[in-house]
Amino acid sequence: MKQAQELLEKYNAGLASPEEKAMVESWYLKYKTAPSTLTPEELLYEFNIGLPQLKHRLGQHKTVKWWSRVAVAASLLLCVGVGLVLLQKQSPKKAPTMAVHQPKAITPGTNKAILTLADGRKITLESEQNGNLAEQAGVNIVKHADGRLAYEDHNGIGNAVAINVLQTPRGGQYQLQLPDGTKVWLNSASTIKYPSRFADDKREITLTGEAYFEVAKKATDGQRVPFIVSTGLQRIEVLGTHFNIKDYESDHETATTLLEGSVRVTPLQQPSKAMIITPAQQAITNSDKLTIKTVDVDEVIAWKNGYFVFEDEDIQSIMTVLSRWYDVDVVYKGEITKQKFGGAFPRSSNINDLLKYMESYGNVNFKVEGRRIIVMP
């Protein structure tokens, strides 16, 4: 306990070595992207016993870049109950000069989505009261207080199938529980199409945008029932597992990342090239090939846990993510910086704070006009 607290205090005072800074920030990111129910004392103990593993990990990855060090330090030290003193952890290249001309603040995204029923009726979920919204062939569609839409099949009989569509706008997210118990977290600007009751022999849905799945295991007559997700470029088949799919049209690729279990990924343009991936692997399909690589799954699903995590990202990639979550348009003027950025920020952050950090440490400037952000050299 003492060793951990001394390290946190060194970090807060600006006295930690680069390796010690990286250790604190790596531990912080691990626990903020996978929230626990630990008390502050227990959390500090976990940090203390985890130092050897952090040292080993950082021996392989020497560079950790953050354009949000102050946010990291503040959140971490508040979390474990250590005295908080905000100090800049590195000198900014310049003072932020962001020009803001807006009558109203740009707020982060919230839980909002539109449910389209099989009969064409549209339900705007954020304006509906909690409780039963509709009934389809013995399946109740229920909005829960925790921001979750659930399909509750009480009798499990009947063959009638109604196709529903759940769509989040830019600036929206929503959680869905399918009739088989599978849990889905839908990111902003995403659409999922699914039946109100699955068939006995297979479970099929379609997705555009991004979603995280925790697939429930299901068996019929002793045979496990596959769960299949179709996207623009991939067909993903699983039995019961956790995985993330990112399939935004503007990205021109589909990326499926596995957290546990196994997944069979079939590129639609080359079905004979299907591959099975294992945990921490990501299958990426573009117009002409399927590639597999190892990734940090905590970074991939950070959005689902309420964080932006960028690792050596260019400004255009970052602004694409921000535009979806904050529902803003992005315009580029002049030469676009080739500088890479890295860091973590809560998705609840004010967008102006994120832009100011990038201005301070990067070769970039921003002007905010209403719901439009202009990116300049």
In CATH, which of 3.90.660.20, 3.90.1570.10, 3.55.50.30, 3.90.180.10 is domain 99-106+306-376?
Answer: 3.55.50.30
Q: How many residues does the chain have?
A: 377
The residue extents of the domains of the chain are 2-80, 99-106+306-376, 110-299
| CA nearest neighbour of 242 among 176, 170, 183, 313 | 183
Structure token pair of residue 328: 């803003």
- Residue 54's pLDDT band, with cuts at 50, 70 and 90, is very low
| CA nearest neighbour of 305 among 22, 24, 28, 21 | 28
The position carrying tokens 């995985």 is: 243
Structural fold of domain 110-299:
Jelly Rolls (2.60.120)
Percent of the chain exceeding pLDDT 90 equals 47
Structure token pair of residue 10: 């060194």
Is the entire prediction scored with pTM above 0.85?
Answer: no
23-32, 51-60, 256-265: which has the minimum mean pLDDT? 51-60
Q: At what angle do helices 315-326 and 351-361 cross, to 10 degrees?
A: 170
* pLDDT tens for each residue of 293-302: 999 888 899 8
* pLDDT tens for each residue of 269-279: 888 899 999 99
* pLDDT tens for each residue of 198-213: 988 889 999 999 999 9
* pLDDT tens for each residue of 99-123: 544 446 788 999 999 999 999 999 9
| Same CATH fold assignment for domains 99-106+306-376 and 110-299 | no
Structure token pair of residue 317: 């990639």
Tell me the CB-side half-sphere exposure of residue 68, using CA atoms within 13 A. 28
CB 355 within 8 A of CB 363: no
Q: Please, is 198 exposed, middle or buried when counting C-beta atoms within 10 Å of its C-beta (0-12, 13-18, 19+)?
A: buried
| CA nearest neighbour of 267 among 247, 242, 241 | 247
